[in-house]
A and B are shown apart, each in its own frame.
Chain A
Amino acid sequence: MNSQNNKIIIIGIVILLASIVSYSLINSNQEQQSENPETIGVVKEFDLSIVERKLTLDPPIISAEIGDTVLLRIQSDEELMFHIHEYNHEVMVMPGKVQELSFPATISGRFEIEIHMEEHEMSDMDMEIDFSNAKISINSVEVMDNMVTVNVEIEGIMIDKSGIHWHLKLDESLQEKDDHAAIMVFGKDNYMLHGISKGEHTVYVALVNSEHELVSDISSQTFIIETEMEMNPGMNMEEKEEEDGEPILVGFLEVMPKL
């Protein structure tokens, strides 16, 4: 009888504990919600400095909440590519210039921030490169399910392949300069795009100089994707593994769910 009673009491206590935990959870969620009734549209600003290939932020974690707009002002002591995983935002940062990157926080989670060194001495090269006859054309666009490989042909510049730098954009034409939304391709004549949705798309390419200003005409080609895919916001263009320049992890973007 005693043991029977004990069992009942144990079960009772476990249920009680479970209810306390769940009550406090719900309660704390509600409290946090009532504290921040209108968090949508909040702009979270961060001034980031990259010194000797490290973020000076300590700990190097950029925190935001779903619905926020993240505004990053990035400075660096050397030329590098700044890249946030999954969100796939990539910007070129030049020493002495503040580069802004702004985007809405749409996916919660912890995303790696990496920098990629581009081992091309572009500024020196520019002096010697004559871009007047520079021409880029799309040779072929190979479609495979939701993935395409864009092959280009570059003519009219007398440099080896490793010095080539061109911009690529999907479904939107390239801007003359400061096109932060463009994908930058270095030292190769093809680029693979992943996770493209079903439908008709156009890819645009153009050669640029070290200042990321267009130096050739824009070439474009239209292709059709026939495979249906599940879409996640902000993830329709995914760059796969890096082939050159080992990426360096410098920090994290932490997007918390809305409580």
Chain B
Amino acid sequence: MKRIFFVTLLLQLLLLPNAYAHGFGSKIDLPIPAYLYWLGGGAAVLASFAIISLFVNRKSHDNSYWKYDLRNISLINSIYENKSILNVFKIFSVGLFILTILTGVLGSQFPVSNFAPTFVWVIWWGGFIWLHILFGDSWNFVNPWKNLYELIKFNEKPLRQYPEKFKSWPAFLFFLIFAWVELVYPNPADPQFLGNLIFLYSLVVLLGMRVFGKDKWLENCEPFTVFFNFISNFSLTRVTDSGKILLRPIGTGLLDVRFRFDQLCFLILILSVVSFDGLISTLFWYDVIGIEAFGGSGRYDVLYVNTVGIIFSFLVFMLVFYSCIGILKIITQTKSSINELAKILIPSLLPISIVYHLAHYSAYFFLNGQLIIKLISDPFGFGWDIFGTSSYEIVRTIDFLLLWNYQVVVIVIGHIISIYIAHRLATSIFKDNKKVIISQFPMLLLMVGYTVLGLWLLSSPSI
């Protein structure tokens, strides 16, 4: 019986229905106008030099920053210590997770009428990152697989030792597959596909946690735990291992982290994937690959090119990053190896990639995200009206001027934070202040380049 079920499931995955015209809902965001693109780029360059000039005469080389333990505030402390609130979160997250699978598999197969695609792609992937920036590692609290595992109370003792030589490469691989599904797979918003995929992946995660131990699996093989853990280094607050809730200036948490090579690759992958996402919808990209942007069968036409492209873009980003580090090594004549320097400086690229994610998904989140108001009342698309919101119509008359300014401003702010972090990290490598300054020029080049790329992607005509 079980076998039949799995065969049916696999067949469902393979025999996919025809693609809906363009994912779900039409794209109604506008590219930022050229003047804003130039202005943003100019502001980034100006800010870079301003920050560098600030550090010219700097003598102190400490990596400390201002922090405050929020548990000193009794209200926050009592909320934190109240386990029942935490349990409510856990049950809620597991509930949402089960709802996503059920709606995907059993609900209406028209993506805009189904809870699963909007919840997964727009709310969770496009918007959840905001919670991380403000409240630290929220995924740790709401991770449905972890919570489900804890609620079921599986035996904590792992069956096998996790092979340490694999490090976090399984997570890297899973993230690459996830990115491929999001960006390249022709029909990622197909509810049944999404429901089945989440179900299958859940089996893998639960099995993995049981075999290798919950924490080992999550840390090394669960891509979203690794991804959101990276983001929480940037966040305004963070719960430390000793149970403190630290409030600190945004981005400064990156001064504490040291990444391994596998983590460095994961971070470059995040950076390359989000940029590749912007690139593949531009008319420029269609020109480059020589495929007609209009009149074809959408993602089917670019399936193979973009599959190669997603891997190629990662390699290009690696090459560019390592070239900059190579230049940095040559001009500073340091004895540290290129790999050593790369691992120390890589955290400074995180702010740039986070802000690009925010800018890139903003219109999508504010416009398509409104669908969730309608869908909470009718998650299966069966015509229910649980909360009386099922007839909600998306407000499409948004203030684009505000949206554009938001996009440019977050990108420039992210750029400033990146430059600042890179400089502070460089002080931990070089004792000589002059070398610190010199070392910043290749990093500056890289960051101005990435910021301008981000702005250009936001301003390019796309489909």
Contact = CB atoms under 8 A, between A and B. Distances in A.
B283 interface: yes
A125 interface: no
B412 A21 contact: yes
Interface stretch (A155-163, A205-213, A248-256): A248-256
Interface string B11-48: 00000001011100011111001011001100100110
Contact of B405 (A25, A110, A250): A25
Contacts of B47: 13-14, 17
A41 interface: no
A118 B424 CA distance: 64
A28 B33 CA distance: 11
A235 B396 contact: yes
Contact of B50 (A13, A61, A108, A256): A13
A195 interface: yes
A233 B397 CA distance: 9
A232 interface: yes
Interface stretch (A3-11, A91-99, A133-141, A164-172): A3-11
- Where chain A touches its partner, the secondary structure class is mixed
Contact of B46 (A3, A17, A259): A17
Interface in A1-32: 2-3, 6, 9-10, 13-14, 17-18, 20-21, 24-25, 28-29
B399 A257 contact: yes
Contact of B416 (A14, A247, A259): A14
A55 B294 contact: yes
Contact of A252 (B51, B397, B408, B463): B463
A107 B409 CA distance: 25
A189 to B, nearest CB: 22
A239 interface: no
A107 B54 contact: no
Contact of B393 (A230, A250, A252): A230
Given A10-B420, A86-B396, A110-B29, A53 B295 contact: yes
A86 B26 contact: yes
A188 to B, nearest CB: 18
A86 B22 contact: no
Contacts of B60: 2-3
Interface residues of B, number: 50
A110 B58 contact: no
Contact of B295 (A111, A112, A249, A256): A249
A21 B395 contact: no
B292 interface: yes
Identify which of A24, A107, A110, A227 gathers the most chain B CB atoms within 10 Å of its CB: A110
Contacts of B6: none
Contacts of A55: 294
A54 B383 CA distance: 38
Nearest to B283: A59
Given A3-B60, A109-B400, A145 B391 contact: yes
A108 B20 CA distance: 24
A111 B28 contact: yes
B218 to A, nearest CB: 37
Given A59-B283, A227-B391, A249-B294, A257 B400 contact: yes
A15 to B, nearest CB: 12
Contact of A108 (B27, B55, B298, B397): B397
11 contacts: A9-B54, A10-B51, A10-B420, A17-B43, A55-B294, A112-B22, A232-B393, A232-B397, A235-B396, A249-B294, A259-B401
Interface of B: 18, 20-22, 26-30, 33, 35-36, 39-40, 43, 46-47, 50-51, 54-55, 58-60, 110, 283, 292, 294-295, 298, 383, 390-393, 395-401, 405, 408-409, 412, 416, 420, 461, 463
Given A54-B295, A60-B294, 7 more contacts: A17-B50, A29-B401, A108-B397, A110-B30, A227-B391, A230-B395, A257-B30
